[in-house]
Chain A
Amino acid sequence: MNTRKHWFAIRKDLSGQRSWLLGLCSFLLPLCIWSLVSYTPWIWHPMVRISDPGGVAYFQKDMLVDREIFNKENAFMREGGESEARGEPANPIYLPAPHQVVQAFITAFQTAPIRRNDPWLHQSILHSITVIFYGFTLSAILGVPLGILCGTFAFFTRIIEPFIDFIRYMPAPAFGALMVAFLGIADAPKVAIIFIGTFFQMVLVVGNTTRLLDKSLLEAAQTLGATSKKLIFHVIVPGILPNLYRDMRILLGWAWTYLIVAELIGASSGISWFINQQAKYRNYDNVFAAIVMIGIIGLTTDQILRFIGHYLFPWERRN
């Protein structure tokens, strides 16, 4: 059997082992590129980290300078017969090496905030999760039933969807200033932004998912004696549940993207506040650590939800 054909067969599944391997690679490859750029002195490294200032008056040990300036200063030194500065190639401060970020990952949790009243990192994260939870739950409580109504009755489609289509083109962050005016500067406007960011999409997505339910299931149920109300609760709702669940997983991802903007509104807080604060102190390793952390939280929640879904909907397991 041709191995090459096996790896690149059009629309054929790969073996479990190969799928795992490729999944691992999808994380390892970017990490490899990042490591190459960080640890190989001749790749990129546009700066020089001074190890010995030599005769250059304003150079200091461990200072980062552009390579161009470094070379120019050294040329001056050579002309004047003074001792040249020495240093090693380095990357700009905004690109920390992987090991620094890993270190930051641990130290960020252990480092007390610089000002005493500021939250610790884990408090910031918890705060972010709370905001997402309230925003998303609120939007699901209203959005899911409304979406199901839109997908079921043409009446609701016609009276609700045009206006929602209009609003959903307005970026949620544009409502920031308004929300602060309405709701103050605490968490309420942040929850509102998450709500605005997900609710309108949710109504449309759920409406669509509902419409995709096989119509013949409804007809079969009708010939078995199901009336309107029973059709909704015994056919439509259970019928769309697996797809609804998947929609919610995708929309939860959207909620995280709105979180970053939401947290900068009013009194900034949560993980975005942490990121901004650390960027001000030029602790870019902490910034990277925090961004990666959002990714990890998102991916983990999604995988957990997927796992739960596997058990909730045994009839969907064939894939």
Chain B
Amino acid sequence: MNNLNLPSYLEQEPDVRARFKKIRQRPVILEVQHLGKVFPGADGDIVALHDILFNIHRREFICVIGASGCGKSTLIRILAGLDYPTSGQVLLDNQEVKGPSPDRGMVFQGYTLFPWLTIKKNIMFGLKMTNHGNNYAEEQALQWIDLVGLSNFANAYPHELSGGMKQRVAIARALANRPRILLMDEPFGALDAQTRSQMQAYLLQIWRNVDITILFITHDLDEAVYLADRIVVLGTHPGHIQEIIEVSVPRPRNPDQFLTPQFLATKKRLEELIHPPEKNRHEDLPMIRLTQAGDEVI
């Protein structure tokens, strides 16, 4: 990638620049204000997150990326209200987040569908919990099942579905509650490469068709660049924001853009931030050779 003559990742075409201007004018939905999280440990406290600060605008698609151990899961758990910050606060529509609530839907890596409920009832679950009537819940559920393309599986149980289908149900289940923001914690991490790129396309389509703001956690650079408007890049020890990148790849996105200069430039920048070359040097394998057979072709 270094031999390519790439533009700066900061360079934006006029229409892309205009898009970002419009996004910034939209109302802020989620404010993350100086968030910090410290876990008490046996050998002193461990700082998982340090002074995390960013805003998300309405219908924006934000990816959070970082190497393992950068606290990205901790961050999304705090946003969901499943964990509490030790400093700072999270505001959703100017209200402080104080625990889990259906206005912040969540999709987990491990699917977390209720195995004892059919697909339809899984999607109805949230509506029933928020005291909607059975008829309304069922009607809504069927609509969401159609939207994620699983009409033939309404009465199937989760274990009868493939990983990708399960994750589509999980998305529909979260969206059925009409949340203000959808939090996704490495949702495609357990899927094979092909299903994964299919799911990315599905997600972009759903995002276009539904009034929803998305915060998406991943450690896959391509995924982040392909999906996001802005990418929040976290660094490790302690988890902190290295940079917030505006992705200069125009929308609508499609897989052909993976090799465009803007895409590669953004990806290269992410690479530099997340895997700086000096960090990897000490991990070289020692040079121990056990054979010379067939060396002429190696």
The residues of A with any CB-CB pair to B shorter than 8 Å are: 214, 216-217, 219-227, 230, 234-235, 238-239, 241-242, 313-316, 318
Excluding A239-B115, A314-B157, A315-B116, 14 further A-B contacts by CB distance (< 8 Å) are A219-B80, A220-B108, A222-B82, A222-B100, A223-B101, A223-B183, A224-B102, A224-B130, A226-B125, A227-B129, A234-B129, A238-B114, A238-B116, A318-B159
Interface centre among A219, A225, A241 (most CB of B within 10 A): A225
Q: Which of A222, A223, A239 sits near B114, CB closer than 8 Å?
A: A239
Please give me the residue from chain B that is nearest to A220 by CB atom: B112
Tally the A-B contacts, defined by beta carbons under 8 Å.
75
How far is it, in angstroms, between the C-alpha of A242 and the C-alpha of B115 when the chains are bound? 11
How far is it, in angstroms, between the C-alpha of A225 and the C-alpha of B101 when the chains are bound? 5
Min distance, Cβ A247 to any Cβ of chain B, angstroms: 17
The residues of B with any CB-CB pair to A shorter than 8 Å are: 80-82, 99-102, 104-106, 108, 110, 112, 114-117, 125-126, 128-130, 157-159, 173-174, 177, 183
**A217 in contact with B112 (CB, 8 Å):** yes
Please give me the residue from chain A that is nearest to B99 by CB atom: A222
A224-B116 in contact given A315-B157, A315-B158, A318-B159 (Cβ < 8 Å) = no
> Which residues of the other chain, B, contact A313 by a CB distance below 8 angstroms?
116
Min distance, Cβ B218 to any Cβ of chain A, angstroms: 18
Min distance, Cβ B129 to any Cβ of chain A, angstroms: 4
A315-B159 in contact given A214-B112, A220-B108 (Cβ < 8 Å) = yes
> Which residues of the other chain, A, contact B157 by a CB distance below 8 angstroms?
314-315
A225-B110 in contact given A234-B125, A238-B116 (Cβ < 8 Å) = no
> Which residues of the other chain, A, contact B114 by a CB distance below 8 angstroms?
217, 220-221, 235, 238-239
> Which residues of the other chain, B, contact A234 by a CB distance below 8 angstroms?
125, 128-129
- Residue pairs across A and B with Cβ atoms less than 8 A apart, 9 shown, are A216-B112, A217-B112, A217-B114, A219-B108, A221-B114, A223-B105, A223-B174, A235-B114, A242-B116
How far is it, in angstroms, between the C-alpha of A146 and the C-alpha of B207 when the chains are bound? 45
> Which residues of the other chain, B, contact A224 by a CB distance below 8 angstroms?
102, 105, 125-126, 129-130, 173-174, 177
Min distance, Cβ A232 to any Cβ of chain B, angstroms: 13
Min distance, Cβ B71 to any Cβ of chain A, angstroms: 18
Q: Which of A214, A220, A239 sits near B116, CB closer than 8 Å?
A: A239
> Which residues of the other chain, A, contact B101 by a CB distance below 8 angstroms?
223, 225
How far is it, in angstroms, between the C-alpha of A242 and the C-alpha of B100 when the chains are bound? 28
Please give me the residue from chain B that is nearest to A235 by CB atom: B114
The 3 lowest CB-CB distance pairs between A and B, nearest first, are A225-B102, A224-B126, A222-B100
